[in-house]
């Protein structure tokens, strides 16, 4: 019986890992499209940030509703619904680009994002409830690490397959409207793959997670850690997306070419991937020797990630690989620092989260003040310390909840992912008014709140509040 249970748990984790990969790729492919869209539609920084706004506003509109729907139809049906909407949104990009309609383009982004909301709302509580709550942060970090693989690949592919050919076409005399057509085919492929996955999932039997039927899901509204954690998610996603979308303007202001700036942004997401692998290892119940052993493998992997991403490019339509091992070594040094700072957390999700919040505040201050050659690496390093934030904030927010409360709690928390719509828009506006460096000051407040939630807010329970 125990062997069958473990097999079911492995099946559930494998299934959810693939879902995390899918919505990670889709989310970052859309974020990476900002620069291509700005080029095609001749937009200001503020207008280009509407791509992120249209994507993340879907969380505010649908997350709570998705939580209620998933509670009724189940996790599996919720995921299939999400995949269907992702496919529909993907196919809508073709006519949007064909007629060069920015409103229709934004609508396609919104529809695709609604599907991602279903996937996100179903996946996080499912993984958290799929085992002991003490190891929930490790499980969420593991699945988020697969999400991190996708978020690293997505901007890299966007730069190579879409932006670089578009820039080349414009340099050869094509109009921005003609260059925009490079967006169409990737989304047709994404939509088709997602449809096939949805069909396959329909035939998979997943392990069920039963909760206490005597507990009302509405009790979630009285859990302060859920609400405080939701604000933490607002700050985290807003700061993560806002900082990522500022990398290209920051580098372009300093004289870097557009395609180089987009390619380097993949480093940012690569750091998040490496950090999440560390999180899944160091926050698990593994022995200390095993943690060191597996972390050493991650460090070796980090060198190759940094080396490959900064060495590969497309020049005149041809794939070019100019080996830059120094960048791989720099990335490795940051990865080692990330490991030791995570070790300071001593396996406690809230302590590691607090340390990383403080570190990111310092990195942003440095990036805003130092020359771009150094500030660039400060910005790119933020990805490493963003790594464990979403899974740890989520796990701390739903700690002590019954599985029956999870879908609604996930809906509340995911609603505040709308921070990814609001904060980048504010940063884009500041970039237009002043510079990209000034806009970087906004995430400092976000990371300050995350540090507060980690060390204080996550421990607050209703019994601790003095309510008259």
What percent of the chain has pLDDT above 90?
Answer: 15
* CA 214 from centre of chain: 35
How high does pLDDT run on average in the chain?
79
* 208 in a structural domain: no
**pLDDT score for 232:** 94
SS3 314: strand
CATH number for 335:
1.20.1250.20
Quickly count: other Cβ atoms within 10 Å of residue 164's Cβ.
24
Please indicate, yes or no, if residue 211 is contained in any of the structural domains: no
Amino acid 4: pLDDT: 47
Please, which pLDDT band fits residue 359 given cuts at 50, 70 and 90?
Answer: very high
Q: Tokens 């996790």 sit at which residue?
A: 75
First to last CA, the chain: 49
- Report whether pLDDT(2) > 50: no
Q: What pLDDT score does 160 carry?
A: 63
Q: How many CB atoms sit inside 10 A of residue 5's CB? A: 10
Whole-angstrom CA distances from 466 to 84, 221, 457 are 46, 17, 15
Count of the separate structural domains present in the chain: 1
Nearest by Cα to 242 from 441, 391, 4, 71: 441
Nearest to 179 by CA among 168, 163, 164, 166: 166
Distances (CA, A) of 69 to 65, 76, 79, 327: 6, 12, 11, 47
In a domain, residue 125? The reply is yes
From 403, 399, 414, select the one nearest 71 (Cα to Cα).
403
Distance CA 142, CA 256 (A): 34
347 within some domain:
yes
Long-range residue pairs from 323-329, CB within 8 A, at least 24 positions apart, any chain? 328/303, 328/304, 329/303
Using CA atoms, how far residue 61 sits from 114, 123, 209, 235, 242, in Å, is 9, 18, 27, 18, 20
Say whether pLDDT at 275 is over 90. no
Is the pLDDT reported for residue 449 higher than 90?
yes
Quick one: pLDDT at residue 393?
92
- For residue 440, the SS3 value is coil
Rounded to an integer, what distance in angstroms lies between the CA atom of residue 137 and that of residue 128? 8
Mean pLDDT check: name the lowest of 46-50, 288-292, 308-312, 371-375.
Answer: 308-312
User: What residue numbers bound the domain in which 307 lies?
Assistant: 2-203+218-460
Q: Which has more pLDDT, 159 or 402?
A: 402
């Amino acid at each position: 019986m125990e062997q069958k249970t473990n097999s079911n748990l492995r099946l559930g984790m494998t299934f959810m890992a693939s879902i995390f990969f899918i919505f990670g790729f889709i989310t970052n492919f859309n974020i990476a499209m900002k620069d291509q869209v700005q080029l095609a539609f001749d937009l200001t920084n503020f207008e280009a940030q509407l791509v992120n706004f249209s994507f993340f506003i879907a969380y505010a509109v649908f997350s709570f509703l998705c939580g209620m729907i998933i509670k009724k139809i189940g996790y599996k049906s919720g995921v299939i619904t999400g995949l269907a909407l992702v496919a529909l949104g993907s196919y809508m990009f073709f006519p949007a680009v064909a007629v060069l309609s920015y409103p229709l383009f934004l609508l396609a982004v919104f529809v695709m994002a609604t599907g991602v909301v279903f996937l996100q709302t179903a996946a996080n509580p499912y993984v958290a409830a799929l085992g002991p709550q003490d190891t929930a942060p490790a499980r969420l970090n593991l699945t988020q690490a697969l999400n991190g693989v996708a978020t690293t690949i997505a901007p890299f592919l966007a730069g190579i397959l879409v932006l670089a050919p578009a820039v080349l076409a414009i340099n050869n005399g094509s109009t921005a409207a003609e260059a925009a057509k490079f967006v169409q085919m990737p989304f047709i492929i994404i939509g088709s793959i997602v449809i096939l996955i949805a069909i396959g999932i329909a035939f998979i039997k997943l392990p069920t997670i039963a909760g206490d039927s005597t507990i009302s899901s509405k009790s979630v509204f009285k859990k302060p850690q859920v609400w405080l954690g939701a604000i933490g998610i607002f700050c985290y996603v807003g700061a993560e997306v806002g900082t990522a979308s500022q990398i290209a303007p920051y580098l372009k202001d300093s004289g870097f070419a557009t395609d180089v700036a987009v390619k380097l942004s993949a480093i940012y997401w690569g750091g998040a991937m490496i950090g999440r692998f560390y999180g899944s290892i160091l926050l698990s119940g593994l022995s200390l020797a095993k943690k060191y052993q597996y972390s050493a493998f991650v460090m070796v992997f980090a060198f190759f990630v940094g080396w490959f991403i900064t060495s590969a490019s497309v020049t005149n339509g041809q794939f070019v690989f100019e080996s830059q091992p120094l960048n791989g070594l720099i990335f490795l040094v940051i990865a080692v620092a990330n490991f030791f700072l995570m070790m300071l957390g001593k396996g406690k999700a809230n302590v590691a989260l607090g340390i990383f919040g403080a570190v990111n505040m310092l990195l942003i201050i440095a990036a805003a003040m130092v020359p771009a050659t150094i500030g660039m690496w400060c910005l790119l390093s933020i990805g490493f310390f963003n790594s464990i934030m979403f899974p740890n904030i989520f796990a701390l927010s739903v700690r002590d909840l019954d599985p029956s409360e999870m879908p609604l709690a996930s809906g509340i928390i995911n609603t505040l992912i709308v921070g990814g719509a609001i904060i980048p828009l504010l940063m884009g506006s500041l970039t237009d008014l002043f510079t990209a460096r000034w806009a970087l000051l906004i995430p400092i407040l976000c990371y300050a709140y995350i540090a507060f939630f980690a060390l204080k807010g996550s421990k607050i329970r209703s019994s601790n509040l003095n309510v008259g």
